Structures are given as C-alpha cells and as structure tokens.
Amino acid sequence: MDSISLASLCLGAPLVAAVVGAVFWRKTSHVDLVSIAAQAIGAIAALAISLGVAAPATRTIPWLSFPGAKITFSLGIQLDALSVPMLLVVQFLALGVLVFSRWYLHNDRFYGRFFASFSFFVFAMTAVVVAPGLLQAFIGWELVGLGSYLLIGYWHDKAPASEDPEYQAGKPVHATGVNESKLNPAMAQLKAFVVNRVGDFGFVSGLAMLAWLVSSLPGFTGGDPLAWKTLFVAVGPVMASKAAFLGFTGAGLLTFAGLLVFLGAMGKSAQFPFHVWLPEAMQGPTTASAIIHAATMVAAGVFLTARIYPLLTPDALVAIQWVGAITAFVAATIACVQWDYKAVLAYSTISQLGYMMLGLGAGAAAGGYGAGVSHLYTHAIFKCMLFLGAAAVIHALHGVQDLGRMGGLARKMPFTAIATGIGTLAILGVPGFSAFWSKDAILAAAQTKVYLAQSVGDGVWAARIPWLLGMATAALTAFYMSRQWLVAFLGKPRDKHLWDHAHDPDKASIAVLLVLAALSLQFVWTGSVNPFSSGSWLDGVLRSPMAVKALPHELSHHIHLHTMGWTFALLCLGFGAAFWLYVSNPRKGGATATWLRRDPPTNLVWQFLANLWFVDKALDLVFAEGIARRGGRLVAKADLGSGLSMDTIVDNAVSSARWVGRFANLFQTGRSLAYAGWTLLALFGALALLLL
C-alpha cells in the first residue's frame, strides 16, 4: 500500500468511527471500542508513512471548475516534510487520549457521544494536515471548529458557575477575573465559535485575495491557484505584478494577504487578543482539552503559519513575531496568579503558542522556522500528557481543581506525579528534556534576529523587544509551572479528606502517561543522550522551505551558548522562587501571596493580572454588552418600539390603507342606479366649475 493510500486510512478511519458513533452512541457504549480501533488503524498507517516516505507525494482530484477563468479547485492529499511528522503526532496523541478517556469518562451520561465527536475532530485536523492547498485547508479548518464546538459543549446543559453549588464551594475566597454568570460549557462553546469567526473572516478574505492574485497573473495557464506549489511559485510574480487593492501593490499586497490568512491562525491558536476563548474551553472534558490544546485546534494555527511560510514577507514576519511575543508574555503573567489547576495549563498553552509564533516570526535566516515547528511537535507531546495528568488529579479529587486544596499527592498518585513532573521539566526547558531543544532554539532565533538587525543597522528594537519578552516569559514559565507541580504533589495535604481518596488512574491510562512522559525526553528528538549535542534526526524535516543563507557556524554556536546560559539562569530563578515560597517556606509563601493580594501597590498588580489584564472584560463590555446586547435593544426599539419605530410605521401605513378602503367603500354599493347617480352628480359638478 502506497503512502497516499495509507494517508487515506488516516482520514477515513476516524470519519467512519464518527459516523458509527453518531448513529449508535445512545444504543451502546461500545462505540468507544470502534473509535479506538479506528484510531489505532490511523496511528499505524501514520507510522508506516513516516517510516516509508522518502520524497514528497501528492495526489489530487478535481472538485470545483470555473472554465471561463481556467480555475479548477482540487481536493486530495499531500505528504511532505511538514505534514508527515504532524500527521504522526495527531494520530498517536488521539489514540492515547481515547484510551485514557475510557477510564476518565466511564459511566458519563454522554459517554458514547464524546467518542463520536472526538473521532470527527481528529478527521478534521487530519484534513488540514494533509491538505494539498489552501482551500482544502480552510474546509478542514472549519470542520476543526465544529469538532471543538461539540467537545467544548459536551456538558451543554450544565448550569453557569454562578449557579453551580460545587463550583461555588470549591473556589477560593480570592477568586476573581471570570464572569461566572457566563462560565458554562454552552457559553464557552459559543465564545470559541464567535471569536474564531472573526479570525476566519480574515482567513477567507486572504484566501480569496490570493486566488485572485495568482489567477490574474499572465503566466497562470489554469489549474488550482490555491495549491501550495502554485502559490509558492507565484510569490515572485505577485511581488512584481501591478495588481492593486486598497492602495497596496506588489510586496505590500502579498504582506496584506498573508496577514489576513494569519488572522485566522491568530483565532485558532489563541493569539492576543483572540486568546480569550481558550481558557473557557476548559469547560469541556479535560481529555478533550488534552487534544484541543496539544495537537489539533490550537496547533492548527501554528501549522498553517508554517505551511504558508513562503508567502510571508519580512514585514509580515515582524508582525507575527510581535504577536507571538506579546501573547507569550501576557499569558505567562496571568498564569502566575491562577488558582485553578486546569487554568494554569490553559494559559501555559497560550504562552507556548506565542513562543511558536515568536520563533516563526524570527525568520528562516535566523533559524526561526525550524525552532517554531520543532516546538510545535514537542509541545504537543508534553502538553497532552500534562492535561491527561490534570484529568487524573481532578478525577481523583472528585472534581476539585483548586490548587489551594491539594498537596502531597505524589504519595497517593506516584505515576501521575512522575509523568507530570517530567512534563513540567520539559516545559521549563531543563537540559535533557524536549523543550530544552526546541524552546531554547526559539529564543536563540529571536536573538539571532537581533544580531541580523544590528548588522544592517535597521529595526534593532523591533527585534530586541520580542526577544526580551521571550526571555521574561522563560522566567515566568519556570515559576508558574514549578508552582503548580510543587503545590499539587509535594508538601502536606491541605485537604485530608480529598487526599485520603486520591489514587492513580487505571493501568492503561498510566501506560499512556508514561509513554508520553518518555517522549518528552530530549534524546527522543535529538537521537543523543548528550543534552548539549547539536543536530537532530529531524533536521531535514525542520529545514526552511525557502533557501536562506546560513550563519557562520561559530556565530550560531556563540548565540546558542549565550541563549542557553541566560535561559538556564532564568529557569533557576523561577524554579528557585517557587520552591522557596511553596516548599521551603510555605507559610512565608502564603503570607506573601496574601500581601500581594491585599496591600497597595502590589494589590493593583495582582488585581490587574487576576482580572486577565481586563482584556476579557473590555471585549465583553464593548462587544457582548455594548454592540450585541445594547445594540440589540436599540434595534429592537427601532423595530418594535412604542414610539417612532418600523413596527409603528408599518402599523400606521396599514391603518391608513384601512381608512382609505372604508372611504372608498362608500362609493362601492354594487347598484347601477347609484353609480349612475354619482356619475350625473360628477358631471353636474364639472359643468358648474366650468360655468363659474
């Protein structure tokens, strides 16, 4: 079986499982086995592809034809250096999450529906990964949104947090920043849908603009203008063309189109200020979060940005780097004050996605492409494992997510503690763990871009500020992730009743955690047990799709050593602060936290961070409460109000027509003598007017 046929299995197997699950989930709980079996087929097929593909392979079929414009849009499968590793990551993580979900959601009332929705979600993400062009990527993109909508709203009938006694009893007294009246799965899925529609408007606008630009080129002889190969070959001619739109031409027009597509990536990958939907997506099952926040929905935006990389001009990359740096820093600051176990991971995801965009925005010449893509892969593994670990903790504590009620769980849940501990070390970038290889490469790329800007004497601060934000984020990440693990798993139990009943998940789920933990070790990605060795078996995969001039080896080595030194120092600072406050001096840590929340001026900083930089509240005030609610009231008043309104105008028009009709009825008796009389009267009246 060739690679394209194997990729068809990766697409078809989850889709079949989704259809079977959608039909039979109410009748039998065994749809879980159908989904797992289908996903196992997809994972084996993906592994066979990754071991067997030596050269890019593409197969397409015509779909939509416009003969007059010589355009034929196609659907199909493309396997290359970017799509094959991502396909493997998606398929294997999905299999692990499905196995874990059998234990986590056992006896849930919507049990079968979860597996059906999950399989559909995997099918949609696979369609994005193997898409041979931008149009199929957009179709899969929208299906990913539908899949996430179904999973986030899994418990759609759950009451808002303000009316949920379990939530109110479980939250700490200092909890703030979230609108509890709107915090439930139904509102969370709606918020994710609406926020992503804003980004997708940019995506489809950029898609249409690129189709117009490519198809209008003199050299375009027909075919699919949105196929990756056609798009990338057309970059030079588009930049040289005289096509104009809104005052943009040439490179400016290509920059505009690329940033419109990137707007869609900002929505899916929760980049500032579109990040507001992702924390509330935690209202879905934690195992759904494990796939949404690791290898599917949020990864789709980073994957798309890497896929369209040849289309992105230097100006577009500057904007992408700034968006990534701001997102990484803002989310990291918010994560430092979160009390909810899952919320810490949610903001950690946003921050790490910002890191990936920071790397991609640094540019191929600085090594940013390979750094961003490598972190996409490594982050998918350890973040999926961290969310599954969170699922184990929350299940063991009967739904409690407050870090303040945890402690000492390592003694009751040793396997979960080991796995999540490895994941935490990975995200911190500790030597020997996967993110030491990928995250440090991002910061090195950002620093390299500063050097390149200095060498040409232009845009130095435009490159330096994102690098500084990235370095600050490294310290913050070390603090809040260390804080989470130390508070939850070390020290004394803060709630003895919860601690007494805590336990590890079943053997199959433990196996999933430990396999993902093993894949979070650096040697898996570099092929060497030496954490400081250079190179990786993925070097060919991570090579930029454009030819770029490499930096001198000595200079590149110096920058990486410099970055490594700084990040290790910041790691020690963040971890040391967390260990001192929450392990060595827990009373001092508690007193410090109280002081930060209570006394000025630090309480202002805490309020600012705990209220999520007020971004969510500002957007809610302007759009949800302002434009939507109050604007809706104005429209309703203009339409149905008691004063001057459309309803009143229509009613008055109808009333006037009624009175005109009644007056006309006076002359419509149906008797010929009456009509003759009215006619004579009219004639006499006319004669009288003439004689006078």
> Would you say residue 466 lies in a domain?
yes
Please give the angle made by the CA atoms of 97, 129 and 5, to the nearest 5 degrees: 90
Q: Across 212-221, 285-294, 299-308, 577-586, which has the greatest mean pLDDT?
A: 299-308
Q: Which pLDDT score is estimated for 287?
A: 93
Check whether residue 568 and residue 610 sit in a common domain.
Answer: no
- Which two three-digit tokens encode residue 192? 């994710």
| pTM (predicted TM-score) | 0.90
Check whether residue 483 and residue 468 sit in a common domain.
Answer: yes
pLDDT digits (tens, 9 = 90+) for 412-471: 999 999 999 999 999 999 999 998 888 999 999 999 999 999 988 888 999 999 999 999
Q: Across 49-63, 149-163, 309-323, 649-663, which has the greatest mean pLDDT?
A: 309-323
> Would you say residue 344 lies in a domain?
yes
193: number of Cβ within 10 Å: 17
70 or 569: which carries more pLDDT confidence?
569
Check whether residue 528 and residue 421 sit in a common domain.
Answer: yes
pLDDT digits (tens, 9 = 90+) for 632-650: 677 766 666 666 677 777 7
> Would you say residue 290 lies in a domain?
no
DSSP 394-438: HHHTTT--BGGG---GGGT-HHHHHHHHHHHHHHHT-TTBHHHHH
> Would you say residue 670 lies in a domain?
yes
Residue-number span of the structural domain to which 479 is assigned = 317-596
> Would you say residue 555 lies in a domain?
yes
Percent of the chain whose predicted confidence (pLDDT) is above 70: 96
pLDDT digits (tens, 9 = 90+) for 595-613: 777 777 778 888 888 888 8
How many domains, the chain?
3
Check whether residue 539 and residue 671 sit in a common domain.
Answer: no
Check whether residue 337 and residue 437 sit in a common domain.
Answer: yes
Q: Which pLDDT score is estimated for 243?
A: 84
Q: Which pLDDT score is estimated for 534?
A: 64
Check whether residue 352 and residue 443 sit in a common domain.
Answer: yes
Percent of the chain whose predicted confidence (pLDDT) is above 90: 60
Q: Residue 571's beta-bridge partner residues? A: none
- Contact call for residues 447 and 420 (beta carbons, < 8 A): no
> Would you say residue 80 lies in a domain?
no
Q: Which pLDDT score is estimated for 528?
A: 75
Give the 3-state secondary structure of 573-617: HHHHHHHHHHHHCHHHHHHHHHHHHHCCCHHHHHHHHHCHHHHHH
Q: Is the pLDDT of residue 509 over 90?
A: yes
Check whether residue 571 and residue 608 sit in a common domain.
Answer: no
Calculate helix-pair angle for 460-489, 553-579, nearest 10 degrees: 40
Q: Is the pLDDT of residue 57 over 70?
A: yes
- How does residue 554 score in pLDDT terms, banded at 50, 70 and 90? confident
**CA gap 40, 633 in Å, rounded:** 52
pLDDT digits (tens, 9 = 90+) for 364-392: 989 899 999 999 999 999 999 999 999 99
Check whether residue 428 and residue 569 sit in a common domain.
Answer: yes
Over range 69-76, report the average pLDDT.
Answer: 90
Q: Which of 596, 624, 656 is the last residue of a domain?
A: 596
> Would you say residue 333 lies in a domain?
yes
Check whether residue 632 and residue 650 sit in a common domain.
Answer: no
Q: Which pLDDT score is estimated for 55?
A: 73
> Would you say residue 626 lies in a domain?
yes
Check whether residue 625 and residue 488 sit in a common domain.
Answer: no
Q: Which pLDDT score is estimated for 640?
A: 64
Average pLDDT over the chain reads 89
Check whether residue 690 and residue 624 sit in a common domain.
Answer: no
Check whether residue 589 and residue 606 sit in a common domain.
Answer: no
